[in-house]
Structure 1
Amino acid sequence: MADTDATTGADAGSSDDADASSFRNALDSLVETVEALEVDVREFEAAIAGGLAGGFQAALVIQVHDTDAIRRVGAVFGVPTLDGGWLAMFALGVLFALPFSAFVSSSIDSFVSKVMALSSRNDYLRKVLVPLLKRSALTTTTLALGNGYGIAVGVVFSLFVMPVWLTFGMGVPTMIPNLTGDGLFGVLAWALYGGTLGLVYGLILEY
């Protein structure tokens, strides 16, 4: 009888150990999921902060260039006022910033490879880049990627989306694509937006 009890006790102990092990595995899986979620949330927050900062930068540049231009941005949202233009720029800044994390993830490897290839053939470029990369490699990279991203946003939005909407949605005839000084200045403003977005995004994730 004692042997039977001992066996039963051993089986129960093994069962308890198996249950504890399964529980630990489940907890480990949960922790990994939460940690991954925290990284995603941080990237999301970094993109929003960068988008707001970049939107402010772009709106300021556009208004300094032409106050009516910032009103035209507001007109895209049906609010052709100075306040409407600023709110529209902040909203667009955040909207355009949301895909930035995916853009960085898909572009960073090829970008770094190209930079390494160029710097290996150019001593001056290498002398400029090496200290920057040693100090803050991620921020330097996202700043450069942000500039390219901002140019792409500016070309699509300033040269095509805005003139199309103003022409067909608001009844204000505008050249499509808008290759006037205002349209090209809009591309410049969005390029500055992208640089600010990349800078803030990189700083938040790196520090």
Structure 2
Amino acid sequence: MADTNATPGTDAGSGADPDEVASRSAFAPVLERVRSLEVDAREIEAAIAGGIAGGFQAALVLQLHDTDAIREIGSIFGVPTLNGGWLAMFALGALFALPFSLFVANSIDSFVSKVMMLSSRNDYLRKLLVPLLKRSALTTTTLGLGNGYGLAVGVLFSLFLMPAWLTVVMGVPMAIPNLTGDGLFGVIAWTLYGGTLGLVYGLIIEY
């Protein structure tokens, strides 16, 4: 609260945009909070909880698209069934979430800088972001980072790792990278996984 009251006095003379000042002040506690974080048990629990929630969402999207896609994921663990695929998605969701805290800590500075630059050039984006940041700054930030993280996971897993495993270990020939419709839909599903991971992670850490 003290920083908010002090800001107009220092910026009024420079003619700074109040919305831009508000967005900067909203990001400040996020940066301080993340820089002070250590990878402790609570952060790991938050990441795992977010990963399981994200795994559920990704599995649901994949099953709605093609039930066989879930069975293929289950076959990675030797259980090519619907139940096996769902359990595999929960396990993979938790596993892929473990490095998320380090990803947030290492990426947040550049992410915030890019968002601030874009919002300073786009009035609509600034009007959208400022209220979100005021309400829940860390969660809004980790949600955005989570989507990028999920996209990277989706590209690595759906296009390369999974088809390589099925081809080499399971004897099911697949193109590598798997640029078919199913492979690209898998990337979308894992991107949604990342958004859910970031949302749940931010909510647990922030509150």
| CA–CA separation in structure 2 for the residues paired with 1:135 and 1:193 | 23
- Structure 2 counterpart of 1:98, one-letter code: L
Give the C-alpha shift of residue 121 in structure 1.
1.1
| CA–CA separation in structure 2 for the residues paired with 1:130 and 1:39 | 28
Over 3 Å counting, the alpha-carbon distance change for 1:148 and 1:38 in structure 2 is closer
- Structure 1 counterpart of 2:81, one-letter code: T
2:163, 2:174 within 8 Å by CA — same for their partners in 1?
A: yes
Give the C-alpha shift of residue 77 in structure 1.
1.1
- Structure 2 counterpart of 1:118, one-letter code: L
1:69-84 pair list within 5 angstroms:
69-84=69-84
2:39, 2:101 within 8 Å by CA — same for their partners in 1?
A: no
**1:67 maps to what in 2?**
67
Give the C-alpha shift of residue 168 in structure 1.
1.0
Using the size of structure 2 for normalisation, the TM-score is 0.81
1:25-174 pair list within 5 angstroms:
40-174=40-174
Give the C-alpha shift of residue 163 in structure 1.
0.5
More helix by share: 1
Over 3 Å counting, the alpha-carbon distance change for 1:83 and 1:147 in structure 2 is same
| CA–CA separation in structure 1 for the residues paired with 2:37 and 2:146 | 24
- Structure 1 counterpart of 2:198, one-letter code: G
Gaps in structure 2 of 5+ consecutive residues: 1-35
- Structure 2 counterpart of 1:69, one-letter code: A
Give the C-alpha shift of residue 78 in structure 1.
1.1
| CA–CA separation in structure 1 for the residues paired with 2:38 and 2:166 | 41
Q: Secondary structure at the match of 1:173?
A: coil
Give the C-alpha shift of residue 122 in structure 1.
1.0
After superposition, the CA RMSD in angstroms is 1.4
Give the C-alpha shift of residue 197 in structure 1.
0.2
**1:32 maps to what in 2?**
none
| CA–CA separation in structure 2 for the residues paired with 1:138 and 1:94 | 21
Using the size of structure 1 for normalisation, the TM-score is 0.81
Percent identical among aligned pairs is 83
Gaps in structure 1 of 5+ consecutive residues: 1-35
Give the C-alpha shift of residue 39 in structure 1.
7.0
2:74, 2:80 within 8 Å by CA — same for their partners in 1?
A: yes
- Structure 2 counterpart of 1:182, one-letter code: D
